[in-house]
Structure 1
Amino acid sequence: MAEADPDIAVQAAPIAEREIAGAGPLDEAVRGAREPFVVRGLVADWPLVRAGLNSADDARAYLLRKRRDVPFTVSLGESGAGGRLFYDDSMGMNFRSGRGRLDDIFSQMAVRENDPDCPAVYLASIDTRQFFDGLDEDHPIPLGDRDLLKSIWIGTRTRIAAHNDFPDNLACCAVGRRRFTLFPPEQFRNLYLGPVDNTPAGRAISMVDFHAPDFARFPRFREALQHAQITELEPGDALFIPSMWWHHVEGLAPFNVLMNYWWRDTPRWLGQPQDALNHAMLSIRDLPHEEKRIWRDLFDYYVFENDEAVTAHIPEKARSVLDRLTPQSASRIRNFILQQLGKG
């Protein structure tokens, strides 16, 4: 197993491992779980895992047999970046994106993959149902009847900066090896996050280079490392990443494939918290301090506390959106917000 950067490997605790077999135990293990865990060999019998254990060429051939004849979006990194897909010196991206046929993209990977200094070639978050035929059916995952968003990530050696996601996530290593370094949600202040509107892939990322942490520039990152957890996934292994946990992801082999499964245990008709945060930055953040204090109190009252004091004095049938949300009342809020935004 390859060594992680010494500063991180020494301080990071190993992610807990659990033995789980079958749909029932896995479904139960992730239900309400708020700590990450690894399941070794969970998907070891997948056809793609078996193909990849033979060779990278066999894995690529398997995926090509399943692909649909549609263009795929691919990111091409810079030479000398060590596979790191990040910002350039002007805070643009240090990679370019294009579209192409999967067989042509795989040909580029095959040529470059044995050169450790080659520019990264990376297909990120490709919807398995939209871009492949039969891939889902060949690779079942024992997560009960959840409404899963299924993606595949394919690339040469890559380094993806620490970021988080709102849904829960089960990440399954199919080909190659992946190193994950995780941090609890509350460590965001110590990860030195970049812009929220100029990001490599839609989520704010840590500005710290995990292979060469600049502690003079990012001193609180030492505190983050005290809470870090780390693991390396081999083909067939899976990692559960709870909602909002920060994760830094590295593809360690010349050719790597990850399949992941996102889900929410709350209904899809509820809003996205990130949208509320973005709107709060627009409407509240730059108000005078005293006005912000009032709005913080209102947010506590209506959103974070949301106890009987909010509704007990209102007739039950008149509580509308102050009551527990339904698809109908959520739709009323959404329509009202859209109307108000249209006036801006």
Structure 2
Amino acid sequence: MAARLPEPAPIRELDGLAPGVLDDALMGSTEPVVLRGLASSWPMVAAARASQREAGDYLRRFYRGQQVLAFLGAPEIEGRYFYNEDLSGFNYATVKAPLDRVLEELDKHRDDPRPSSVYVGSTMIDHYLPGFRGENDLDLGARQPLVSIWIGNRSRIAAHHDVPDNIAVVAAGRRRFTLFPPEQVSNLYIGPLDFNPAGQAISLVDFAKPDLERFPRFAQAMESAQVAELEPGDAIFIPSMWWHHIEALAPFNALVNYWWRATPAYMDSPISALMLGLLTLRELPPAQRRAWQELFRHYIFESDGSEAEHIPPAARRMLAPLDEDGARALRSHLLNRLNR
């Protein structure tokens, strides 16, 4: 008999919020929150509640004919966009197609018991659907988010994390979100960092039928898991670096998400530091790795500014508080070292 996995806990919920009432305490949370009915007043949500055809027609109002990038998978993948057997490629094809044609295909095969998988990934709304946000939007204050739409039929997106904070709004269909805190990385069995379906490393565990002989620590990950199912108009706040597995559960689904970083634009992505660590630190002898771990603790992870107090302010250079000029100088210094 297969081992029974722990049941995930429900994600904390807030109800009764409006799109213009998102305070900084919520937006800066380090825990996920479901925002029930946040976008229930959106016209897109009303169209989706009426029918798939009305939802598609509503999107067509804003479409200007550009081709979008779509993922196409055979019925056998059951919506799980993933690697092929030996992780040398992927189990789907990537094509460019007009969005209205994608919507027609989704509508045509709505009632198929085993349809092909169709998925339009992160697509910038302001470019492909200009005017959509004039009727369907969230007020994030001074933040300037990247706003994208995701459209498709049933899908299963492997657990991954994003550097930005994220609010995802279910505009049509139904979605299940399963989240894990960042410290569960070793229990999620992450695949290649530099070769993956959509630019982010993903868990190799099939959540629908987890192989606990191959991935035994996944049971420990599930002890920390949180889950929620969202209907049209519901939203979820996913903090930076939280792992999230997403299932689209209806024949037609649309998700609008808002990404933003809480750091200045001149800061590079921390993934660059991880990549450099693989290049420069991982293969060192254990004693040297421990020495560098102490340097990182001192200068990075437990930095409070005191580590440079003994240096005259004008001479602190890269140890001074980072600003745009300092970031530019540090980046130039790093590039010179890498290009030696």
User: TM bucket by the smaller chain?
Assistant: over 0.9
2:30 to 29, 34, 44: 34
1:177 lines up with 2:198 in the alignment: no
- Greater shift in the superposed pair: 304-313 or 191-200: 304-313
2:326 to 322, 326, 329: 329
Give yes or no for contact 1:22–1:142 (8 Å, CA) kept in 2: no
1:220 lines up with 2:243 in the alignment: no
Superposition pairs of residues 10-49 of structure 1, within 5 angstroms: 11-22=7-18, 25-49=21-45
Instruction: Give deviations 1:95-143, integer Å, cap 9, x for gaps.
Output: 1101011111122212223223212100011011121110121112032
1:281 to 255, 262, 278: 278
Give yes or no for contact 1:80–1:118 (8 Å, CA) kept in 2: no
CA distance in structure 2 between the partners assigned to 1:162 and 1:15 by the alignment = 16
- Kindly provide the amino acid, as one letter, of the partner of residue 144 in structure 2: D
- 1:281 aligns to what SS in structure 2? helix
- Kindly provide the amino acid, as one letter, of the partner of residue 205 in structure 1: I
Q: Which residue pairs with 1:239 in the alignment?
A: 236
1:153 lines up with 2:154 in the alignment: no
Runs of 5+ in structure 1 lacking a partner? 1-5
Q: Which residue pairs with 1:70 in the alignment?
A: 66
When residues 8 and 70 of structure 1 are mapped into structure 2, their CA distance, relative to the original with a 3 A threshold, is: farther
Q: Which residue pairs with 2:260 in the alignment?
A: 263
- Kindly provide the amino acid, as one letter, of the partner of residue 193 in structure 1: I
2:48 to 47, 52, 60: 52
When residues 86 and 36 of structure 1 are mapped into structure 2, their CA distance, relative to the original with a 3 A threshold, is: same
When residues 31 and 175 of structure 1 are mapped into structure 2, their CA distance, relative to the original with a 3 A threshold, is: closer
CA distance in structure 2 between the partners assigned to 1:308 and 1:87 by the alignment = 44
- 1:136 aligns to what SS in structure 2? helix
CA distance in structure 1 between the partners assigned to 2:140 and 2:185 by the alignment = 29
Cα deviation, residue 25, structure 1: 4.2
- Greater shift in the superposed pair: 288-297 or 46-55: 288-297
Cα deviation, residue 8, structure 1: 8.6
Q: Which residue pairs with 2:194 in the alignment?
A: 197
1:297 lines up with 2:294 in the alignment: yes
Q: Which residue pairs with 1:188 in the alignment?
A: 185
CA distance in structure 1 between the partners assigned to 2:254 and 2:234 by the alignment = 12
Q: Which residue pairs with 2:79 in the alignment?
A: 83
- Greater shift in the superposed pair: 59-68 or 119-128: 59-68
CA distance in structure 1 between the partners assigned to 2:287 and 2:6 by the alignment = 45
CA distance in structure 1 between the partners assigned to 2:46 and 2:209 by the alignment = 35
Instruction: Give deviations 1:228-257, integer Å, cap 9, x for gaps.
Output: 111100000010101111100010000000
Q: Which residue pairs with 2:93 in the alignment?
A: 96
Instruction: Give deviations 1:23-50, integer Å, cap 9, x for gaps.
Output: 6642234232011111111101111111
Q: Which residue pairs with 1:3 in the alignment?
A: none
CA distance in structure 1 between the partners assigned to 2:317 and 2:15 by the alignment = 46
TM-score (norm 2): 0.95
Instruction: Give deviations 1:142-183, integer Å, cap 9, x for gaps.
Output: 321211110100001000000010111001000000100011
Percent identity between the two aligned chains: 46
- 1:80 aligns to what SS in structure 2? helix
- Kindly provide the amino acid, as one letter, of the partner of residue 311 in structure 2: I
Runs of 5+ in structure 2 lacking a partner? none
1:106 to 91, 96, 103: 103
CA distance in structure 2 between the partners assigned to 1:174 and 1:332 by the alignment = 43
Give yes or no for contact 2:156–2:247 (8 Å, CA) kept in 1: yes
- Kindly provide the amino acid, as one letter, of the partner of residue 55 in structure 1: S
- 2:100 aligns to what SS in structure 1? helix
When residues 307 and 41 of structure 1 are mapped into structure 2, their CA distance, relative to the original with a 3 A threshold, is: closer
Measured on the aligned residues, the alpha-carbon RMSD in Å equals 1.7
- Kindly provide the amino acid, as one letter, of the partner of residue 314 in structure 2: K
When residues 61 and 308 of structure 1 are mapped into structure 2, their CA distance, relative to the original with a 3 A threshold, is: closer
- 1:258 aligns to what SS in structure 2? strand
Number of positions where the alignment pairs a residue of Structure 1 with one of Structure 2: 338
Instruction: Give deviations 1:198-224, integer Å, cap 9, x for gaps.
Output: 101111111111110111111111111
Q: Which residue pairs with 2:205 in the alignment?
A: 208
- Kindly provide the amino acid, as one letter, of the partner of residue 79 in structure 2: G
